Amino acid sequence: MKNIKISLAGDLGSGKSTVGKILAEEFQAELYSTGTIQRAIAVEMGMTTLQLNQYMETHPEIDGKIDDGLRALEKEPKNLIIDSRMAWHFVPSSFSVYMMADALISAERIMNAGRASEPFSSVGEAAKSVSDRRKSEMLRYSHLYGVNIKDMENYDYVIDTSFVPPEEVAAHIAGHYRQYVAGEKFQRYEICPARLLPCGAEAGEPAVFESEGFWYIAAGAAKIAEAIRGGASLISCVRADGDPRGCTGEKVAEWESRTGVRLYKLPFGER
């Protein structure tokens, strides 16, 4: 039987480590985490993870060592859950997952984790560090390998973890992996209702687009509203094009009344 290989990439603080442990137990797989490796290197070198990322921009030998380990996993005859930003690239046979989360929620999770390599005194400080680290990583991987790690079209499945407990996230990933292995079709994106801003058409299948970190409904608003009223914690949808200028305060108020969900953040004013 073919070995199980699931790779987890995604936003900092999206819960990859926790979800990876749950999946490893469910599939009786070995958990391989490049994040753990990097944090250990940072502590050893007396750096924060941000400082290490910036240092690695001019010292590619560290990336090279980590990535050589990833490349070797492609031929490993074992069940693996791989927590790594680049596993989708270096282990192409894996079922590649991108876990995304709102920036402030991610910052709160990282701050509360209390890791020695990530010391923060406020959520704002953590959020800035997360943003700077992401920029450093995107620059580094683009320069080294010509890839955009933030392009979610690189992945087999994208799940929003902002308001979903890790056990439920793991269950969704496991379920989609089994569909993938069985050759069944599924929508690539699942997004939390509280992050979906009203913007597009009522008719059609659920479709969304992203702009400046906000997620908007491009089509299928009627089906999305029905799913939300039915208690769905995640909305299955596809990626589409759209114009965020269609989202207004009036539409938001109407949408919240219609669905019973309070949107987490608005593009024209924080909540």
Amino acid (1-letter code) at residue 156: D
**Mean local confidence (pLDDT), 232-260:** 96
3-state secondary structure of 199: coil
Dump pLDDT digits (tens) for 95-143.
999 999 998 898 888 777 666 555 666 777 777 777 777 787 788 778 8
**Residue position matching structure tokens 């059609």:** 204
Distance CA 16, CA 8 (A): 6
- For residue 157, what are the β-bridge partners? 97
Distance CA 49, CA 53 (A): 6
Asked whether the predicted pLDDT for residue 67 surpasses 70, the reply is yes
- pLDDT band for position 53 (cuts 50, 70, 90): low
DSSP string, 29-51: -EEEEHHHHHHHHHHHTT--HHH
Distance CA 52, CA 45 (A): 8
What local confidence, expressed as pLDDT, does residue 49 receive? 67
CA dihedral 15, 156, 170, 32 (to 10 degrees): -60
What local confidence, expressed as pLDDT, does residue 134 receive? 76
**Mean local confidence (pLDDT), 25-34:** 92
**Residue position matching structure tokens 């069985």:** 182
- pLDDT band for position 203 (cuts 50, 70, 90): very high
Q: For 260, left (φ over 0), alpha (ψ -120 to 50), or beta?
A: left
The ranges assigned to domains in the chain are 5-181, 192-259
CA dihedral 216, 219, 220, 226 (to 10 degrees): 20
- Looking at the chain, the number of H-run helices and the number of E-run strands are 10, 10
**Residue position matching structure tokens 């305060």:** 249
CB 123 within 8 A of CB 111: yes
CB 201 within 8 A of CB 218: yes
Q: Average per-residue pLDDT in the chain?
A: 88
Please give the sequence-ordered ranges of beta strands (E in DSSP) within the chain, or none if there are none.
5-10, 30-33, 80-83, 95-100, 157-160, 189-191, 196-197, 207-211, 214-219, 235-239
Between 159 and 59, residue with greater pLDDT: 159
What local confidence, expressed as pLDDT, does residue 80 receive? 96
CB 260 within 8 A of CB 191: no
What local confidence, expressed as pLDDT, does residue 40 receive? 66
Distance CA 256, CA 69 (A): 48
5-181 belongs to CATH 2.60.40.420: no
| H or E stretch at 172 | helix 166-181
Asked whether the predicted pLDDT for residue 44 surpasses 80, the reply is no
Distance CA 7, CA 10 (A): 10
